[in-house]
Copies of this chain bind each other. A is one copy, B any other.
Amino acid sequence: MAFESVAVTPSAYTYPLLIKQLLHTPLATSLDQEIVYRDKCRLTYRDLSQRIGRLANTLTRQGVTSGSTVAMMDWDSHRYLECFFAVPMMGAVLQTVNIRLSPEQILYTLNHAKADVVLVNAEFIPMLAIIKDQLETVKKFILISDDGADMASFKIPYAGEYEALLAAESASYDFPDFDENTRATTFYTTGTTGLPKGVYFSHRQLVLHTLAVAAHLGTAPGQGRLHRDDVYMPITPMFHVHAWGLPYIATMLGVKQVYPGRYAPDTLAQYIRDEKVTFSHCVPTILHMLLSSAAAKDVDFSNWKVIIGGAAFPKGMAAMALARGIDVFAGYGMSETCPILTIARLPSEMAEADLDLQADQRIKTGYPIPLVDLRTVDGEMVDTPRDGKSAGEIVVRAPWLTMGYLHNPAASEDLWEGNCLHTGDIGVIDAKGCLIVTDRLKDVIKTGGEWVSSLELENIISQHPAVNEVAVIGVKDDKWGERPMALVVLKEGQSVSADEIKAHVMNFAEAGHVSRYAVPNQVRFVQSLARTSVGKINKKAIREEVAG
């Protein structure tokens, strides 16, 4: 017999999964809830709803229609949140521009995405000045400014200032229904090789990511759980994978939201304290910067939950955060995956455990969230055993993965080879379903027929008391194929020898934590490590430098 689709009576509403549908609940139940932008303004969800309408009317007047691309260049703000909703709700595409890229890269992404209208914070005008004459598709600019700057003197097609434009428009806009597979957002990955690659997500994908992440974080028994009395503040930029999708989740739940503008340790600490922020997410570097800042010294962080992602979560940093009472835990995903795939958790029976034991659990890559079909596979796409030891490439299926790279068929097919998305990460899964990423496929060190994880080695070396930062790379070796080399940045005022670092690693090898092959041949002490535009350690650059 044939599969039978449900019969749809002609008058039925078939309910496409559109971003506008996320607003039904908060606009019914949380109209007076607050959305705070720095110390600049406080809105309610009622205001948000009206401003979304005003923004849509503003953009319509500037020629934006279904299929247009609207590029946003701002720090984290209520305006960004408005764009998260209004632009896709019109049927247009929101391009979240990574403002940490070089002007040339930003130019490339705006042209490649065919941006029609650019909303730009006054801070980025000097950068735009460099590239404006090479923009191929942009027809209008809208200025964003906290302090009354204007762009009138700037020789571009200037539509006006954001607040003034909104104020002149009606709050009423009839957002249409359309196919849930319509593209909603686009942004560019910041890989270390080649040109930036565009990923893209549909309304359906963003709605499903929102529901599944909320279902997962909400149903955590205690540690790491998200609920409707939380106060949310992003500390991963909204231009980077929609701030991990949390602004959509926070809005759907109708919670208080705080948008901190440009990240600075002192103001972040201030907002966490004064606005009673309880839920955030950030990369390890930013957490480290925040906790080390003078401003954070007297802040009580004991009601703060923070998902840590974007890079491996060093145990030393987890310990530092736990000592301050912060509920830290790792999350895993990437630009291509919308992003969330797994979340680490402290098993309930360890709720009262020693902080050191807790840290071991909290830094794991974590457990798959609902609907995520995540496997580790060998070169033939056969599952590796779930024994916590057998490493393989992490491949995944989920309802919210990019369906390719924008206008790049070859890279798209590589990404999806064999009908699974290839993360390019190496990991192991244990019997409880917990994933641990052990390395990037590109960074793993192949020595004497064994795979040594550069991340694992970095984690060990970073636990030496004199070490501030470390990067481990493989260097060519005639006998072994590759051998590990460690580049170490020492803490201020500390000194230690290469042999002491090697002995430190050997101790871990003797205790069975790591193979003896992992003890690095060379340890180099350096002043700093090369980083990518989003602050990750740039191993490709380091490898080139070392080889150079």
Contact = CB atoms under 8 A, between A and B. Distances in A.
A403 interface: yes
Contacts of A201: 6
Contacts of A419: 11-13
Contacts of A8: 403-404
A25 B397 CA distance: 12
A379 interface: no
Interface in A370-423: 370-374, 397-399, 401, 403-404, 406, 409, 412-413, 415-421
Contacts of A182: 3-6
Interface size classification for chain A: 35 or more
A203 to B, nearest CB: 9
A5 B367 contact: no
B15 A202 contact: no
Given A369-B25, A370-B214, A418-B11, A183 B6 contact: yes
A13 B211 contact: no
A367 to B, nearest CB: 5
Contacts of A13: 397, 401, 416, 419-421
A535 interface: no
A370 B413 contact: no
A53 interface: no
Contact of A3 (B67, B252, B370, B421): B67
B67 A219 contact: no
A497 B3 CA distance: 62
Contacts of A299: none
Interface in A1-57: 1-15, 17, 21-22, 24-25, 28-31
Given A11-B417, A15-B398, A200-B6, A1 B370 contact: no
Contacts of A160: none
Nearest to A396: B13
A391 B429 CA distance: 55
A62 to B, nearest CB: 14
Contacts of A178: 3
A229 interface: yes
A183 B221 contact: no
Contacts of A5: 179, 181-183, 202
A10 B418 CA distance: 10
Interface in A217-231: 217-222, 225-229
27 contacts: A1-B68, A3-B91, A4-B67, A5-B181, A6-B181, A7-B406, A9-B416, A12-B403, A12-B419, A14-B403, A15-B371, A24-B368, A24-B370, A24-B373, A28-B367, A28-B374, A29-B367, A29-B432, A29-B434, A211-B212, A214-B218, A218-B225, A221-B227, A221-B228, A222-B227, A229-B348, A253-B370
Closest 7 A/B residue pairs (Cβ):
A218-B218, A1-B67, A28-B433, A29-B433, A9-B412, A9-B404, A218-B219
